[in-house]
Each structure stands twice: as C-alpha cells, then as structure tokens.
Chains A and B, each alone.
Chain A
C-alpha cells in the first residue's frame, strides 16, 4: 500500500536555529496537509495545499514558519528561528481531491527544541 513519506523521523535542534521537514505524498494525491500534534492533543492544521497552491494557512505562524510545494508533489515545512514551544510532532497527510476521501498520514517528524 502506498504511504506518505516523511523525513527526518526525529530532529533535535537548539532554539533560534532553523529546521526543515520534508514530505512526499501518495502519488496522485493533489491535496497535501501539514499538521502539528502536541503531545496528548489532536493534530492541528498548519497549512493545506491544493497542487502547488496554498488553500489554507490561517493557523501557520508566518513570522517563523514557511511551507512550499513548488511542483505540486513533495513539500517542505521550515521553521526559522525555532522556539521551545515548537517542540511537537509534525505530521504530513495527503488525500485525493474529494470531500469523502480520507487523510493518509505519514509517521511524522518528532521535533525537540532545546
């Protein structure tokens, strides 16, 4: 079964440093999402792409976070500078362009900011 690929699996960084996460969605999935999941909570949407266009980034802290999906396939989420409160699991998901299609999640990147 096709999977959403994410890397790295774990990242430890010092505050004020820059970090980047990569996601490769399931082939053919036009919609790509980045979610942040704080330990013990549900995933919260950071940004949603439809092909290469941002559909929703209303919850993305734009002063430090950026996301791109230049060719409408894989995507990168960047944080610069990282803050202690950014420690969380960053999950990428993809879906078909259909309101009834489920999200397929990758296994995430666990970020620890020290």
Chain B
C-alpha cells in the first residue's frame, strides 16, 4: 500500500521568512501525482500545488514551490515570504493509477507564522 509520511508535526516561521515542509512517500507505481493541500482554521482543504511524477521540472505557484526528488521519493514544499494567512495545517497527498486513484494523505504539518 502507498504511504505518505510527514515527519514534522509542527513548524513555525517568522513572517516574511522562508520555510520548507518535508514529505516522503512510498510507491512502486511509475505514474502518479503529488499534491500539497492546506487546511486553515476554516477547515476547507485548499490545493496549494501539484506535481506530476513524469515532469522533472519542479512545480511553482507564486510563493509556493516544491523540491521533487523522484528517486528519493521526496516531495518538499517551500513557502517563501511567509504571510500570516499561510498559517494552516499542510497535508502532502498522493494519487496513482491501478486502483489507487483515491487521494492518500500524510499526517500533516501544522505551520505557525510568527509576526
């Protein structure tokens, strides 16, 4: 079974600084997607960024970027110029083919922004 591991239960960062959240996953599939979702106190899960396994180029969305290391099965999220609105629970997630189309989440990292 595919597993997603987030080893940092909590992280904090000064406002305007950069923080990196780590995620590793285990799979034998070659075709899959990786995602970062954020869940602020409003509880709504919001997609932050996605990465297709076949694409070598790391995905970027404004202040959010990923470091995708396929061989190492690592998928970290970098948040630049952290803002107060970035405070949330961040979940790394995985989807693949072959009966694994459901979204498998990691345990989450709670990010606190220090003003």
Bound pair (A, B):
no
